[in-house]
Amino acid sequence: MLAAAAVPLFLLMMQAPSGDSIYAGQCAICHGQRGEGGRGPSLNRTKLRHASDDTALRRIIRHGLPGTGMPATWLNEVELVEVAGFVRSLSNARKPQAELPGNAERGRAIFAGKGACVQCHVVNGAGGAFGPALTGIAAQRSAGHLRQSIVDPGADVPPSFVLLRAETAGGRTVTGARVNEDTFSVQIRDAAGTLHSFWKTELKMLKKELGKSAMPSYATSLTGPELDDLVRYLAGLGETEAQ
């Protein structure tokens, strides 16, 4: 009865968003207009890491990947089928990708040497813990986004990273990444990797620098070719793309 009465409405609603318009509105901002990637990984691949089949793909799109930058959506089953279909079609539309410039071996050397990136980042188990681990970063971000992270770190700080400045009643200051915070306490990791724990009543000041990066920009300290090398190296960290 319900369905019969609803028919005229259905007809009216036929112009509802299709897979490509849902994608353009809600996914392209992170995965690129044609699935080439951005803050999120490229989706124009025949094999997706988390989505071996279509059920898994729809589940990821509906519920997100908790603990990563991939958000949940409120899409209903119909919309999910449509947008998942569009995601699968992206690999067909994929243009042969230009080889990334640069040399990964030289990039690795800059990472450990001139750039001193290793002071703050873990790759394959070695390095400092202040910044996020970069071991599988290529599966999460596009090459373009990685380059931006190095030259303009403040442009897109992962929401899980919050820079804090705390000053104790005794005048000691600690600056670092937020490890955890609740109503009564806060835990901070400083650039040397040392953990600090405070009750908020012990603090004179606690400042949150939302959207601010604790990473220096390398726009001027590295040359163009050196950046190419670094990005080439980082873009190889993680799974190699299935063609």
Partner 1 sequence: MKIVLLLILLTAALHAQTLPYERIVNSAREPGHWLTYSGNYSSHHYSPLAQINRLNVVRLQPKWIYQVRGREHFEAMPIVFDGVMYITDPPSDVTALDVRTGRPLWHYRRAIPEGIPACCGQVNRGVAVLDDLVYIATIDAHLVALDAKSGAVRWDVEVADYKQAITLTAAPLAIKDKIIVGMAGAEYGVRGFLDAYDAKTGRCAWRFWTTPGPGEPGNETWSGDSWQRGGATTWVTGSYDPDLDLLYWGTGNPGPDYDGTVREGDNLYSDSVIALSGATGKLKWHFQFLPHDVNDLDSNQIPVLLNAPWQGKPRKLMLFANRNAFYYVLDRETGEFLKATQFTRQNWAKGIDVKGRPIPTNTTTVNAEGVLVYPDDDGSSNWFSPSYSPRTGLFYQNVREKGAYYYKADTRFRPGQLYLGATKRDIPNEEPYGTMKALRALTGEKVWEFRMQSPPWCGALATAGDVVFSGTMEGDFFALDAWNGKVLWRFQTGGEIWANPISYRSEGKQYVAIAAGSALMVFGLD
Residues that bind partner 1 (CB under 8 A): 2-3, 5-6, 8-10, 12-14, 16-17, 22, 25-26, 71, 73-79, 157, 159, 162, 181-184, 208, 210-211
15: amino acid identity, one letter: Q
Among 69, 85, 236, 238, binds ligand HEC (CB under 6 A): 69
Q: DSSP letter string over 80-138?
A: HHHHHHHHHHTTTSPPPPPPPPS-HHHHHHHHHTTT-GGGT--BTTBS-SSS---TTGG
Q: Which value, to the nearest 10 degrees, does the dihedral of the CA atoms of residues 211, 215, 220, 225 take?
A: -110
Given the rule CB under 6 A, which of 4-12, 50-58, 182-190, 198-206 is the region that contacts ligand HEC?
Answer: 50-58
Identity of the residue, 81 or 133, whose beta carbon is nearer to partner 1 in the bound complex: 81
Restricting to residues 171-200, which ones interact with ligand HEC according to CB under 6 A? 177, 191
Choose among ligand HEC, partner 1, none what residue 203 binds, the Cβ cut-off being 5 to 8 Å by kind. none
Token pair listed for 220: 């001027």
Among 19, 123, 153, 174, binds ligand HEC (CB under 6 A): 153
Does the footprint of ligand HEC cover residue 123 (CB under 6 A)?
A: no
Identity of the residue, 79 or 226, whose beta carbon is nearer to partner 1 in the bound complex: 79
* Radius of gyration of the CA atoms of the chain, in A: 22
Nearest to 102 by CA among 241, 243, 235: 235
| CA–CA dist 157, 212 (Å, integer) | 7
**Rounded to the nearest whole angstrom, what is the least distance from the CB of residue 11 to ligand HEC in the complex?**
26
Restricting to residues 195-234, which ones interact with ligand HEC according to CB under 6 A? 213-215, 218, 230, 234
How distant, in Å, are the alpha carbons of 172, 200, 202, 203 from that of 168?
A: 5, 9, 6, 4
Does the footprint of ligand HEC cover residue 88 (CB under 6 A)?
A: no
Q: Is residue 149 within 8 Å of residue 222, measured between CB atoms?
A: no
6: amino acid identity, one letter: A
DSSP letter assigned to residue 200: G
| CA–CA dist 147, 160 (Å, integer) | 20
Among 19, 36, 37, 70, binds ligand HEC (CB under 6 A): 70
Identity of the residue, 4 or 93, whose beta carbon is nearer to partner 1 in the bound complex: 4
Query: Given the rule CB under 6 A, which residues bind ligand HEC?
Result: 26-27, 29-31, 39-41, 43, 48-51, 57, 60-61, 65, 68-71, 73, 83, 87, 111, 115-117, 119-121, 130-132, 134, 137, 140-141, 146, 149-150, 153, 157-158, 161, 177, 191, 213-215, 218, 230, 234
